[in-house]
Amino acid sequence: MTLASLLSEDQIIPELTATDRWQALDEIVSHLVAEGHLDAGYRDDAITALRHREETMSTGIGFGIAIPHASCDAVKEVTACFARSKAGVDFESLDGKPVHCIVLFLVPKDQFQTHLRTLAAIAKFLNDPVVRGELASASDADAILKIFERKAA
């Protein structure tokens, strides 16, 4: 499984408007609903699950990266969204620095192994400083998606 296989151009937000993690979660989940990747009836359930996970410990892992994730009944398959913020989002990250790359994903309940594999794949992908630099300078959602696809090959 690659991150590129989880994303389409309409699952990429090239410039997030949120300034803190709670706004970011809301904006990203709302985007997934608007683009038809998440049923509007499950929007609040998804946000509740993500907030619960964030309240346990921030998913801002450092190096400008956050990977908010949760298991919930809102989805039947792994559903993801990539969001970029050039200004940075206060995610209460482990290193105290703003987040510029966010990969949010939801996994169906009781798919623990899928959840772990997805989290590991995202962390490995974003661990590369060259990739983070390319994502930061990409012009739009299409250019961002091409980075994911190229690095998956």
Q: Which residues contact 23 (CB under 8 A, 6 or more apart)?
A: 17, 89
For the annotated catalytic residues, the residue numbers are: 69
With 0-12 / 13-18 / 19 or more C-beta atoms within 10 angstroms meaning exposed / middle / buried, residue 91 is buried
